Amino acid sequence: MKRFKTKAILVLKGMVMGLADVIPGVSSGTMALVTGIYQEFINAIKSFKPTIILDLFAWRPRNFWQGLKDVRWGFLVPVLFGEGFALLVASQFARFLLDNYPPYTYAFFFGLILASAVLLYFEVPQSGFAVLFAGLVGAVASVLIVGVSGGNFGHSLPLIFLAGAVAVSAMILPGISGAFILLLIGQYEYILDKIGNLPGSLPTLVVFGFGAALGLMSFSRVLSYTLDRWRSPTLGFLIGLMLGALRKPFQVLLGSAANPEISFVWTLETTIVVTLFGILGVILVAVLGSFRLESEESWK
What is the Cα–Cα distance from 192 to 23, expressed in whole angstroms?
11
Choice among 31-35, 259-263, 272-276, 295-299 with the minimum mean pLDDT: 295-299
What is the Cα–Cα distance from 66 to 180, expressed in whole angstroms?
37
**Which pLDDT value is given to residue 197?**
73
Task: Report which of residues 184 and 9 the model is more confident about.
Answer: 9
**Which pLDDT value is given to residue 293?**
45
Choice among 19-28, 54-63, 130-139, 227-236 with the minimum mean pLDDT: 19-28
Mean pLDDT of 113-121: 81
Mean pLDDT of 247-272: 73
pLDDT tens, position by position, 191-220: 877 876 777 778 888 888 888 877 777 776
What is the Cα–Cα distance from 13 to 30, expressed in whole angstroms?
12
pLDDT tens, position by position, 37-71: 776 787 788 787 777 777 777 777 887 888 888 88
pLDDT band at 279 (very low <50, low <70, confident <90, very high): very high
**What is the dihedral angle through the alpha carbons of 222, 223, 225, 226, rounded to the nearest 10 degrees?**
120
Cis peptide before 103 (omega within 30 of 0): no
Mean pLDDT of 6-28: 77
List alpha helices for the chain, DSSP H: 2-22, 28-34, 38-46, 51-57, 61-70, 73-100, 102-121, 129-151, 157-167, 178-184, 188-196, 202-214, 220-229, 231-244, 247-256, 268-299
3-state secondary structure 121-169: HCCCCCCCHHHHHHHHHHHHHHHHHHHHHHHCCCCCHHHHHHHHHHHHH
pLDDT tens, position by position, 127-180: 888 899 999 998 888 787 766 554 456 777 888 888 888 887 766 666 566 777
Considering the entire predicted model, what is its pTM? 0.67
Q: Is the model's pLDDT at 244 over the cut of 80?
A: yes
pLDDT band at 276 (very low <50, low <70, confident <90, very high): very high
Helix axes 102-121, 247-256, angle to 10 degrees: 160
DSSP state of 35: T
